[in-house]
Amino acid sequence: MPPKILLAEDENLLIEVLEKKFTQAGYEVKIAKNGKEALEILKSGEKFDLILLDIIMPEMSGFEVMEEMQKDENLKKIPVIVISNSGQPVELTKARELGAKDWIIKTEFDPQEVLEKVRTYVKE
């Protein structure tokens, strides 16, 4: 079975680029376009090897999703890579405190680099 990634992101262009890159690399990708949807998918019992999580999303922020994940023993084990427009130290610190493994800044975005980061945390 291919490794499975939940991509929680609300920017369609970024979704298309990452979904194509991961699918070509042999990953199964599920999309959530807002934080609430991401949390519902996670709580549905579907198993994921990694979550790519935007911080600023409709309905529920990435931070709120991570806060909810921390309350669930199974969900808090899933590696999270945060995707954000900001690289502010205060946000980086908060993301790490909530369990994020890594951080990708959208303005410095390179799909190949994202794939390499994913491979670091997903045991294939």
Q: What is the pLDDT of residues 73-119, one digit of tens each?
A: 999 999 999 998 876 778 888 999 999 999 988 877 788 888 999 99
CA distance 15 to 9: 7
Longest dimension (CA), the chain: 38
Question: If you write DSSP's letter for every residue of 73-99 in order, what string do you get?
Answer: TTGGGS-EEEEES---HHHHHHHHHTT
User: What contacts 5, CB < 8 A, 6 or more positions away?
Assistant: 22, 27, 28, 29, 30, 48, 49, 50, 51, 52, 118, 122
Using pLDDT thresholds of 50, 70 and 90, give the confidence band for residue 40: very high
CA distance 107 to 124: 29
Among the listed residues 32, 95, 80, 76, the one whose alpha carbon sits nearest the alpha carbon of residue 58:
32
Q: In the chain, what are the domains?
A: 4-119 (3.40.50.2300)
Among the listed residues 31, 44, 40, 29, the one whose alpha carbon sits nearest the alpha carbon of residue 64:
40
Q: What is the pTM of this model?
A: 0.93
The confidence score (pLDDT) of residue 24 equals: 96
The confidence score (pLDDT) of residue 20 equals: 95
CA distance 6 to 15: 11
Residue 124 has pLDDT above 70, yes or no: no
